[in-house]
Amino acid sequence: MCSSDLSGLDTLTRLFNRRFLPTVIQHETELSTKHESPFGILLFDIDHFKNVNDTHGHDAGDMVLRQFAEILAHNVRANDYIFRFGGEEFLVVLGDVVEDAAFSIAENARKIIADTTFNIGAGKSLDITTSVGIAIHDGHPDYNRTIKRSDEALYSAKHGGRNRSVVSPRSEVSKLSA
């Protein structure tokens, strides 16, 4: 394991990796409980990314991942946390956010990604889109529920045609406390 993995950074994108996620989300869960302010999870997945690797090679795919990460870093709030969550999945933890603001942040980033031409080397470029699942923490101490809800919303975005943002329905816990 390289030193970047141990430090919590993804070596390719220089974003946080999954190793650091529990620490950040536990902190956000505690802040949310203490200040009664929700936090949100945005789960981005690059649409048809396998095709990028299969058609243009893994070096091109790596270039897309780095550019995608840079776009996210410039289009979320300064106090938000961005993680490379999986191969072509990125997770953003939005502190102190309500559903409408989370959707707005997700849509802004999604539109910028769709409008950006990605350089893949040798003078070639690609147009890339992303699907986004959005979930607001419902107050339950198990933050994995929020991640699961964002993943379900992401699946809905993909199933609904891709290149879209979908908000997870509020859970029963939040409905009861609302």
Q: What are the residue numbers of the active site?
A: 88
Structure tokens at 90: 């990125």
Place of tokens 């902190």: 27
Q: Tell me how far apart the alpha carbons of residues 144 and 129 are, in angstroms, rounded to a whole number.
A: 26
Distance of CA 89 to the CA centre of its chain: 7
The number of residues in the chain equals 178
Q: Report the candidate in 111, 10, 106 with the shortest Cα–Cα distance to residue 66.
A: 10
Counting Cα atoms < 13 Å in the Cβ hemisphere of 12 gives: 19
CA atoms within 13 A on the CB side of 36: 2
As a whole number of Å, the CA-based R_g of the chain is 16
